[in-house]
Amino acid sequence: MEKLVLILGGNLGDREKLIVEARNSLHQKLGPILSASKIYETAAWGGASEGNYLNQVLVLETGLEPLKILEATQSIEQALGRERIQKWGNRTMDIDILYLGNQLIDEPQLTVPHPYISARKFVLVPLVEVLPDFIHPIHQLSHLQLLQQLHDDLDVLEFNSSS
C-alpha cells in the first residue's frame, strides 16, 4: 500500500458538489482517504480558463499501480462531466496525481511527482495543511519550504460553503 496524494479542482457547475462526488468516487475506486485539506477557492492559473476554482488535496492509501490510478481518476473526471478541449481550460473536475509515495514516474501519460507542484500556490497551500513536512523527492524541500520560496501572488482563500 502506498500513500497517494491528489488534488481535485474545477471551475464549472456546482463546484462544491462536484468535489464531494469526486471524493466519494475516489474513496470507492482507489482506497480509504487518510486526510483531506480544507476546500480552497482560487483564481484560474495558466490563463486559459475563466472563473474561480475550488481545490482540495486528499491523501489516500491505495494498492493500485500508477497507470490504474490514472485510469480511475480520468474515468471519475469523465463521469463528472469533464471535457478535454483546451489545456488548462475550463472544467467541471480535474484530478491530478501529486505523489505516489516517493515514487518517481516518468511515463508519456504520467509524471509523478506532478511537475508543477513547486510553482502553484493553489497546490502548495493545501499540501502544507495536510503534509507540511513531506519532502519533495526531487527538490528535497518540504512543502512548507517550497511555499515560503514561491513567487506566486495568486489568492488562495478558504472556501466558505453556502449550504
Matching residue, cell 449550504: 163
15 carries an active-site annotation: no
Using only the alpha carbons of the chain, give its radius of gyration: 15
Q: Which of 15, 23, 84, 94 is catalytic?
A: 94
Q: Is residue 133 part of a domain?
A: yes
Single-letter amino acid code for the residue at 129: E
Which CATH number does the domain housing residue 119 bear? 3.30.70.560
Q: Which domain holds residue 53?
A: 2-158
Q: Is residue 135 part of a domain?
A: yes
Q: Is residue 163 part of a domain?
A: no
Quote the pTM value: 0.93
What pLDDT score was predicted for residue 64?
A: 97
Q: Which of 15, 91, 120, 153 is catalytic?
A: 91
What pLDDT score was predicted for residue 154?
A: 85
What pLDDT score was predicted for residue 92?
A: 87
91 carries an active-site annotation: yes
Averages of pLDDT over runs of 10 residues in the chain (163 residues) are 96 93 97 98 74 94 97 94 64 93 94 94 96 96 96 89 64
Helix crossing, 66-79 with 15-30: angle to 10°?
A: 140
Q: Which of 84, 96, 152, 153 is catalytic?
A: 96
82 carries an active-site annotation: yes
84 carries an active-site annotation: no
Number of domains the chain is built from:
1
